[in-house]
């Protein structure tokens, strides 16, 4: 006997009600409202194998409305994934349960991406859809032939990142991406009428999307809308008209179901309303069997795919690509040798471009882009032709003025697999994409942020474009590797380090202005230590000058003056405080000895440098906003010159 689909959907509703009630915390309304849509999606459309959550050709399903996390946990459990177990769900939102308040991909294999900040799940899914089309263009339908599905709420569609994401998806005509909008007209504050009157469907249509509407509680109508989406070559938005908290007779359709437990009385009433007599956290055997059957279809599709892979001439290349193991090759080695033979005086943004030219020639997985600053960020190379709706095999994405959308899409590409994404903008605009950078770090994804114009050194554009607090604020972010190289050799070494970071993102802070060469030896990647002694004192060491990026050259000139006054001065290039902090205590003490005066020099805020200088050290930087002027005038104005800094160091030394 075939069970009514409403009963299968009610299993989601029951688990959502019970888990939120047990935790006394959570959002039952969305899972209850979208249960019918999710049931149809899993039963007839979503391609997955619960025994292998990382199958390369699975569909990607993203719950962008992450507050409704119980929808994801319930469907994963019902569909036969090893976790979450019923005990995991019973401990929803509790310490050490993988069923966190919002879905976290590092807790459960069936969760494709960490969501929570509204809109980012949808924007991340755009990157997944780009990755699928790119790899399909390279390996064909036999190996890459899947879809990207998103469940999003009103909040996801209101957030500013949504505009960036859907504009990019529409422009690239990502027809294998479908967004199922939980159109319940309720937010935490109440009816959406309180805060919005826009025509969302018209907005999506205007950006090149196909739009459908359906009754989100009618399986026949849901299937009709999904079938129409699949048939259309454009990305699709399906407005699923639903009732939030469906089945809770006294609270459904109101914000009371959005972010709080229903309460024992309302849950009892809902069980009666839904015809659900099972005890809390118990799924009747016939319903459990019906859900398990959905996963069996995916296992068969997976087996067929394995057969195709085994006989495909690109099998090894494809598996190597998906493994994520990448190593710079002959072009990169030749480039390093050239730096030693002819040390260039170039901006580190240009040194980055030169490095990338070698790396992209070696590594096909590198896919780059820029937020409309290609000529300034120097992120395009001869090996990276544009990725367009007419040719997805390209490796360079013109993101437009969409810094946040770019960063989120790069997360999606990295999460999808087979791509190592990098993207450029100005360092000051890290603020625009900080929330996505944070998710890169939280999810431990290898994403490379190329941030140029890294200081007042950009000159006349003025304080709105001159980063001051940005380096230190980014260094404060857990699991983000921030690197500020001082010349072309350090830039190349930083790129090699960024690509080696399989468990964290990297950010390269690069100059607009030319910098003289400092390093003339590439036998060892010294940047790997984070901070290293670039030049040792020639006299008895009394002071250690610690500088980053463009200020390393300044520190070397200051060291000359200090040594001329009879004091030995080491110069340390502190490329990355994160990497330096990872070294053992003996190394750190050798580089920053306790008996020396430690002086930091960086064209940014001095906040935080006391970690290395101590309270008795000196810190030279900028603790105000910048100004609009030529570069030399700015460095003089802010006291970042040999003549301004040297006397203060000598005075501290007792001269």
Q: Which residues are tagged catalytic?
A: 403
CA–CA gap between residue 564 and residue 311 (Å, rounded): 71
46-61 burial, b at 16+ Cβ within 10 Å, e below that, comes to bbbbbeebebbbbbbb
Are 89 and 23 in contact by the 8 Å Cβ rule? The answer is: no
Rounded Cα gap, residues 273 and 278, in angstroms: 13
Alpha helices in 28-150 (DSSP H): 29-33, 35-40, 69-78, 86-90, 120-139
DSSP-based three-state secondary structure for 598: strand
The distance of Cα 253 from the centroid of its chain, to the nearest Å, equals 34
Query: Which residues, 6 or more positions from 611, have their beta carbon under 8 angstroms from its beta carbon?
Result: 577
Is the CB of residue 211 less than 8 Å from the CB of residue 239? yes
Bridge partner list, 531:
574
Count of residues in the chain: 655
Contact (Cβ atoms closer than 8 angstroms) between residue 396 and residue 386: yes
- 3-class secondary structure per residue, 247-275: CCCCCCCCHHHCCCCCCHHHHHHHHHHHC
**Nearest-angstrom CA–CA distance, 104 and 115:** 7
Among the listed residues 203, 131, 201, the one whose alpha carbon sits nearest the alpha carbon of residue 160: 203
Q: Which of 454, 483, 457 is nearest to 470 (CA)?
A: 454
- Rounded to whole angstroms, the Cα distance separating 384 from 394 reads 6
Beta strands in 342-462 (DSSP E): 346-347, 366-370, 396-398, 420-426, 448-452
CA separation for the pair 12, 22 (Å, rounded):
15
Q: How many CB atoms lie within 10 A of CB 540?
A: 8
DSSP 463-532: TTTS-SSHHHHHHTSTT-EEE--SSHHHHHHHHHHHHH-TTS-EEEE--SSEE-------SS-GGGGSEE
- What tokens appear for 527 in the block? 């940047």
State the residue for tokens 């019923």.
Answer: 86
Tell me the two tokens of residue 513.
């202005």
Instruction: List the structure tokens of 510.
Output: 């690069």
Burial class (CB in 10 A: 0-12, 13-18, 19+), 651: exposed
Residue with tokens 């809109």: 119
Q: Which two tokens stand for residue 9?
A: 């959907």
Positive or negative torsion for Cα 446, 449, 455, 458: positive
CA distance 59 to 416: 10
Residues 150 and 64 sit within 8 Å (Cβ to Cβ): yes
Sheet bearing 531-535, strands edge to edge: 531-535, 568-574, 541-547, 597-601, 618-620
What residues have CB less than 8 Å from 655, skipping those under 6 apart?
A: 565, 567
């Amino acid at each position: 006997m075939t069970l009514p689909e409403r009963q299968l959907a009610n299993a989601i509703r029951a688990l959502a009600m019970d888990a939120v009630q047990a935790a006394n915390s959570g959002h039952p309304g969305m899972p209850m409202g979208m249960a019918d849509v999710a049931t149809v999606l899993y039963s007839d459309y979503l391609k997955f194998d619960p025994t292998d959550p990382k199958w390369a050709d699975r569909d990607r399903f993203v719950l962008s409305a992450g507050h409704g996390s119980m929808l994801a946990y319930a469907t994963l459990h019902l569909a036969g994934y090893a976790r979450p177990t019923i005990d995991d769900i019973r401990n929803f939102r509790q310490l050490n349960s993988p069923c966190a308040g919002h879905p976290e991909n590092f807790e459960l294999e069936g969760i494709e991406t960490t969501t929570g900040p509204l809109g980012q799940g949808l924007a991340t899914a755009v990157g997944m859809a780009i990755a699928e089309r790119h790899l399909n263009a390279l390996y064909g339908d036999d190996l890459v032939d899947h879809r990207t599905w998103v469940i999003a709420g009103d909040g996801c569609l209101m957030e500013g990142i949504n505009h960036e994401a859907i504009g990019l998806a529409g422009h690239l005509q990502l027809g294998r991406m479908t967004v199922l909008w939980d159109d319940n007209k309720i937010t935490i504050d109440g009816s959406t009428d309180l805060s919005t009157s826009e025509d969302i469907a018209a907005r999506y249509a205007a950006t090149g999307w196909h739009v459908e509407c359906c009754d989100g509680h009618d399986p026949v109508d849901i299937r009709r809308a999904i079938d129409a989406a699949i048939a259309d070559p454009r990305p699709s938005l399906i407005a699923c008209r639903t009732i939030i908290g469906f089945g809770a007779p006294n609270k459904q359709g109101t914000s009371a179901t959005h972010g709080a437990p229903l309460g024992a009385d309302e849950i009892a009433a809902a069980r009666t309303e839904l015809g659900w007599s099972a005890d809390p956290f118990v799924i009747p055997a016939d319903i459990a069997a019906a859900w398990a059957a959905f996963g069996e279809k995916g296992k068969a599709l997976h087996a067929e795919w394995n057969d195709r892979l085994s006989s495909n001439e690109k099998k090894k290349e494809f598996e190597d690509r998906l493994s994520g193991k990448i190593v710079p090759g002959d072009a990169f080695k030749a480039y390093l040798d050239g730096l030693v033979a002819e040390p260039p005086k170039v901006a580190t943004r240009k040194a980055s471009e030169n490095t990338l030219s070698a790396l992209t020639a070696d590594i096909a997985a590198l896919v780059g882009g820029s937020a409309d600053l290609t000529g300034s960020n120097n992120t395009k190379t001869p090996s990276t032709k544009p990725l367009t709706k007419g040719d997805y095999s390209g490796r360079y994405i013109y993101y437009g003025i969409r810094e946040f959308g770019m960063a989120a899409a790069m997360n999606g590409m990295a999460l999808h697999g087979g791509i190592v994404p990098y993207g450029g903008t100005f360092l000051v605009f890290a603020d625009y994409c900080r929330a996505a950078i944070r998710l890169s770090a939280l999810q431990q994804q290898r994403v490379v942020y190329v941030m140029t114009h890294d200081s007042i050194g950009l000159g006349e554009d003025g304080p709105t474009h001159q980063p001051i607090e940005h380096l230190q604020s980014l260094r404060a972010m857990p699991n983000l590797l921030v690197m500020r190289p001082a010349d072309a050799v350090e830039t190349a070494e930083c790129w090699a380090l960024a690509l080696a970071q399989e468990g964290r993102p990297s950010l390269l802070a690069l100059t607009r202005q030319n910098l003289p060469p400092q390093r003339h030896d590439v036998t060892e990647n010294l940047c790997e230590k984070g901070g290293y002694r670039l030049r040792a004192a020639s006299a008895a060491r009394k002071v250690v000058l610690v500088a980053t990026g463009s200020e390393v050259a300044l520190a070397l000139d200051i060291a000359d003056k200090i040594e001329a006054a009879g004091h030995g001065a080491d110069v340390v290039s502190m490329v990355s405080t994160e990497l330096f902090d990872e070294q053992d205590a003996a190394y750190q003490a050798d580089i920053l000895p306790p008996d020396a005066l430690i002086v930091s020099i960086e064209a940014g805020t001095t906040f935080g440098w006391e970690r290395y200088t101590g309270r008795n050290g000196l810190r030279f930087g900028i603790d105000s906003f910048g100004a609009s002027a030529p570069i030399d005038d700015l460095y003089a104005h802010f006291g970042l010159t040999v003549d301004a800094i040297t006397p203060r160091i000598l005075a501290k030394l007792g001269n």
